[in-house]
Amino acid sequence: MINMKRLPLFVFLLSSVVEVASQIFGLTESHFIAKPLIMLGLMGHCYFQSPNRSFLFVMALVFCWLGDVLLLFQGELYFMLGLGAFLIGHLLYILCYRHFRWAEKANELLRPQKVRFSFPIVLAGTGLVVILYPSLGDLKIPVLIYALVLTLMALNALFRYGRTTTKSFLFVFMGAVLFMLSDSLLAINKFYASFSSAGAMIMMTYCTAQFLIVEGISLHEKNVSRQ
């Protein structure tokens, strides 16, 4: 008998593996089937894992799913629409990171610590844009805006330190960093220099990032519900 609570996680894991394999071996048909299922499976997993099932967090996942679907298709229009969907997803993630943390601020990072720990994230975000800028063409402004929001998303994940459980912080923060890495690989491959393993690396980091973010938020909710 199938455990319905575990089925969405199985769908997520299987579709992630199939998608990575599709990228490695150039399997177009399985790519179009597997990629939309990744976030759908993760949304189902989130539904069973999350005690409160936050509408805001679900909408963040929905816009990421929409971005995945739009980026299945070729052309600048679909790329822009996909970029816009992920942009909204990141903005919703920022709101969620601010919501899913304790009100108590006693253990949060001090201001000098925030500046010091933020520096590598800001450097990574701005450094890549500086490198890619000459190759962006008409997409300079949209990519700059996206890079800014992506960096802010990672910073807000960092600023949850001391205001949630250790596991919740680590999962969400590692997920945010991997999301930056995934998008950086995508941007390098698209605008700077394409490389053969790009698709597989992008999807491996992306799937891991989304899973860690979902697990991290669920861990925070479970901790709050027990109090």
Q: Is 104 left (phi over 0), alpha (psi -120 to 50) or beta?
A: beta
Specify the pLDDT at position 1.
52
List, in order, residues 6 or more apart from 119 with CB less than 8 Å away: none
pLDDT given at position 226: 63
* Residue 56, H or E segment: helix 55-70
Backbone angles phi, psi at 61, to 5 degrees: -65, -35
pTM tops 0.85: yes
CA–chain centroid gap for 57, Å, is 12
**Separation CA 46–CA 216 (nearest Å):** 11
Per-residue pLDDT tens listing for the chain (227 residues): 567 889 999 999 999 999 999 999 999 999 999 999 999 999 999 998 887 789 999 999 999 999 999 999 999 999 999 999 999 999 999 999 999 999 999 999 999 999 999 999 999 999 999 999 999 999 999 999 999 999 999 999 999 999 999 999 999 999 999 999 999 999 999 999 999 899 999 999 999 999 999 999 999 998 876 66
Q: What is the rounded distance in angstroms from the CA atom of residue 62 to the CA atom of residue 82?
A: 12
Q: Could you give the CA distance from residue 221 to residue 181 in angstroms, rounded to a whole number? A: 26
Res 51: pLDDT: 78
Where do the structural domains in the chain lie, given as residue ranges? Answer: 7-226
What is the identity of the amino acid at 17? V
